[in-house]
A and B are shown apart, each in its own frame.
Chain A
């Protein structure tokens, strides 16, 4: 009796955790578009993060595989060309504002990009394949910056009428490296604030906020923020060469540190001389694809067209920056080798049809088991439903992505889920037929079937693990579902069903099993 109680407690505990894990998924996907509009974007994004991820084939979007053409790079430059391309592409997609893009490098050095919800194929292609933009922009002085921040907070104060639960700009700003910065996790809040029309109105005319590169600090990841002139003083079109070297100048603070030397053409040199001459003491931001790479202080007029970019570079970063500047863009041309776009309607259609098939399949199996095995069938049905809950919960917990094949895997698991119970029931029936009492029939049935279930599931698990380990994309997704399914199946069939049977034969002491 006690053992039954404790085992039931374990099952209830697991069930509780599973339901708790599944709640955001249920909540998120049951929201209508209208309801979504009424909720704060912060709450929604939090909810979405905790909900089950849908693959591109289900929610619609773009999937691209890119290859970096390294044929024109020297051997040294070719090293890490993918990382640089990856960095630039990530940058651009971030700027574009795609929610939750997945950008990763494969083992073969290809770049995989997944853009959920993006259907503007041509724009995405252009964005990813185009040449990077290098600009030199003047940074606003400290006074202007401070005044602007104050003005923005005043505006916020008015809009939110002193509501202290709202975030103000000063709440998220951090003093950082002589300037200001924002935690990476709060960049989206910063952007939201900046995009409020009333806030836009108090940003000095001709100025804009730009982010620097994310930096690791003891306090976590921080992105510096700069207030710069919109109009660039100079662009990369006038840049002739760039190379990385070690600082040889007078400033002891930079002695022995890596720097990047740049050299402008004649036209660029003239412009550069003018810009530096008339802005001594100010910071000049070097901006690549709208991200500030560094913002050195102009110390003197530079007439020769030679300049150096200082910053806290490692030698690799300096090298990287030099190559990017020299190429003016992506380190090498990028070729799209694979591309898939799934329309949102098709994805929606797939989910609806898949869900319908899933529910109907589930109902038929449930009814069949009930008719064929009576009360025992009910136990199997219970195990089956728990199984479906556990699988989904584990998928959410593992942050797995549900793809169309994964959905098929889920549907198939329903059918196979009852297999273990069928094996057990058939064994129990045999034992009963041989004249055993319900209790010993249950014990013997479970004991004999467990070995079989173990062997049978383990071999299927081997196939599933092969899919999981070596598969790519949707195959991997399918392997995930199948693996989780087999494990959960094992738990529900052997552990959960046994508790109920034990209760029936040990506590209720039934004379006759309904099986």
Chain B
């Protein structure tokens, strides 16, 4: 079977639309992040207490909220996974999980209420982690830039890293927009997504490099767009097939692993894979095309 044979989509020729889409998405993500006051940092980062409880028969979310606030506890309450399962977040890490459990049990003696997970993180740990996360991501990106620079050329390196920022920002924007929590596994997800996105960009870059070589040293200016476009098109079927095979298991997690922490992890990766595929097809080659043209113009002048 061949779904994507001899594709001749004029991607590079229409790059101004792609730029437009990307800029809009990036701006929207920035707006989301500003409005929401940054990513929705979980206990891992801002410190505090997180409890996951299960109530059978299921309590309503309002019941849990009002019971806690009646006893003077300010908690963010969220449903999680299946019915009757809740995540409670407290800003203070001084609260004892057993006490909270007792409050709920005595308010609803006819329910079976059990503690599934308790996480307490002191504020100093959170600060340290945030710093570590940002450093990790930047180090990863820098090393990749250096590698691409060394193996391909500087322009591809820069364009790929721009695409990485683009992908990360948009994935984070959508993730935050959906109200999902930013935790330690989220960083792992973002780093994976960076790895995935760069993987895609490299395959395209590789093909374009191969095409450029065929032209020797002098590449006719009017051929540039064509060369880049055919490079992108020839790798298009691979890019789409691989994205699909990566998305299959991710979607399987989204469907079958609700209520576990890998769900959020899979969610950000799913968003990331889609954005990453788009950017490696549309953004990276477009930037390098324009950069190439600009340098050629300069050399001419």
Measured CB to CB, the closest approach of chain A to B243, in angstroms, equals 9
Would you call A93 an interface residue if the criterion is a C-beta within 8 Å of the partner chain's C-beta atoms?
A: no
Whose C-beta in chain B lies nearest to the C-beta of A337?
B122
- What is the bound-complex CA distance between A22 and B247, given in angstroms? 28
Whose C-beta in chain B lies nearest to the C-beta of A335?
B122
The contact of A345 among B3, B116, B148, B255, by CB within 8 Å, is B116
Would you call A405 an interface residue if the criterion is a C-beta within 8 Å of the partner chain's C-beta atoms?
A: yes
Contact (A459, B199) CB under 8 Å given A121-B118, A354-B260, A372-B1? yes
By DSSP majority rule, is chain A's interface helix, strand, loop, or mixed? helix
Would you call B66 an interface residue if the criterion is a C-beta within 8 Å of the partner chain's C-beta atoms?
A: no
- What is the bound-complex CA distance between A336 and B122, given in angstroms? 8
- What is the bound-complex CA distance between A371 and B2, given in angstroms? 10
Would you call A82 an interface residue if the criterion is a C-beta within 8 Å of the partner chain's C-beta atoms?
A: no
Would you call A339 an interface residue if the criterion is a C-beta within 8 Å of the partner chain's C-beta atoms?
A: yes
Instruction: Please tell me which stretch of B186-194, B218-226, B281-289, B293-301 contacts chain A, meaning at least 4 of its Cβ atoms lie within 8 angstroms of it.
Output: B186-194
Instruction: Please tell me which stretch of B19-27, B134-142, B172-180 contacts chain A, meaning at least 4 of its Cβ atoms lie within 8 angstroms of it.
Output: B134-142
Q: Are B262 and A408 in contact (CB under 8 A)?
A: yes
Would you call A80 an interface residue if the criterion is a C-beta within 8 Å of the partner chain's C-beta atoms?
A: no
Q: Are A121 and B188 in contact (CB under 8 A)?
A: no
Q: Are A358 and B249 in contact (CB under 8 A)?
A: yes
Q: Mark B215-248, 1 if CB is under 8 A from A, else 0.
A: 0000000000000000000110110011011111
Contact (A466, B136) CB under 8 Å given A361-B248, A457-B199, A460-B198? yes
Would you call A458 an interface residue if the criterion is a C-beta within 8 Å of the partner chain's C-beta atoms?
A: yes
Contact (A456, B203) CB under 8 Å given A339-B118, A349-B260, A354-B262? yes
Q: Are B245 and A415 in contact (CB under 8 A)?
A: yes
- What is the bound-complex CA distance between A339 and B124, given in angstroms? 13
Measured CB to CB, the closest approach of chain A to B183, in angstroms, equals 9
- What is the bound-complex CA distance between A460 and B184, given in angstroms? 20
Chain B residues bordering chain A, tally (CB within 8 A): 74
Measured CB to CB, the closest approach of chain A to B266, in angstroms, equals 6
Q: Are A466 and B143 in contact (CB under 8 A)?
A: yes
Instruction: Please tell me which stretch of A132-140, A231-239, A419-427 contacts chain B, meaning at least 4 of its Cβ atoms lie within 8 angstroms of it.
Output: A419-427
Measured CB to CB, the closest approach of chain A to B254, in angstroms, equals 8
A-B interface contact total, Cβ < 8 Å = 229
Whose C-beta in chain A lies nearest to the C-beta of B124?
A337
Whose C-beta in chain B lies nearest to the C-beta of A384?
B245
Q: Which residues of chain A in 319-342 are interfacial with respect to chain B, using CB atoms and an 8 Å cutoff?
A: 335-342
Would you call A128 an interface residue if the criterion is a C-beta within 8 Å of the partner chain's C-beta atoms?
A: no
- What is the bound-complex CA distance between A458 and B206, given in angstroms? 13
Whose C-beta in chain B lies nearest to the C-beta of A409?
B192
By a CB distance below 8 angstroms, the chain B residues around A374 are 1
The contact of B132 among A336, A341, A463, A470, by CB within 8 Å, is A470
- What is the bound-complex CA distance between A9 and B195, given in angstroms? 33
By a CB distance below 8 angstroms, the chain A residues around B187 are 475
Would you call B117 an interface residue if the criterion is a C-beta within 8 Å of the partner chain's C-beta atoms?
A: yes
Q: Are B262 and A415 in contact (CB under 8 A)?
A: no
Would you call A512 an interface residue if the criterion is a C-beta within 8 Å of the partner chain's C-beta atoms?
A: no
By a CB distance below 8 angstroms, the chain A residues around B171 are none
Q: Are B198 and A412 in contact (CB under 8 A)?
A: no
- What is the bound-complex CA distance between A57 and B262, given in angstroms? 11
Measured CB to CB, the closest approach of chain A to B178, in angstroms, equals 18
Whose C-beta in chain B lies nearest to the C-beta of A343?
B116
Q: Are A470 and B139 in contact (CB under 8 A)?
A: yes
Seen from chain A, the residues whose Cβ lies within 8 Å of a Cβ on chain B are: 57, 65, 108, 121-122, 335-343, 345-346, 349-350, 353-354, 356-358, 360-362, 364-365, 368-369, 371-374, 404-405, 407-409, 411-412, 414-416, 418-419, 422-423, 426, 429-430, 448, 451-452, 455-460, 462-464, 466-467, 470-475, 478-479, 482
Q: Which 5 A-B pairs have the closest CB atoms?
A: A361-B249, A415-B246, A463-B195, A460-B195, A337-B122
Seen from chain B, the residues whose Cβ lies within 8 Å of a Cβ on chain A are: 1-3, 52, 97-98, 114-122, 124-125, 128, 132, 135-136, 139-140, 143-144, 147-148, 151-152, 184-185, 187-189, 191-192, 194-196, 198-200, 202-203, 206-207, 210, 234-235, 237-238, 241-242, 244-253, 255-262, 265-266, 269
Selected A-B contacts with CB under 8 Å, 6 pairs: A339-B121, A340-B118, A409-B192, A423-B203, A456-B198, A472-B132
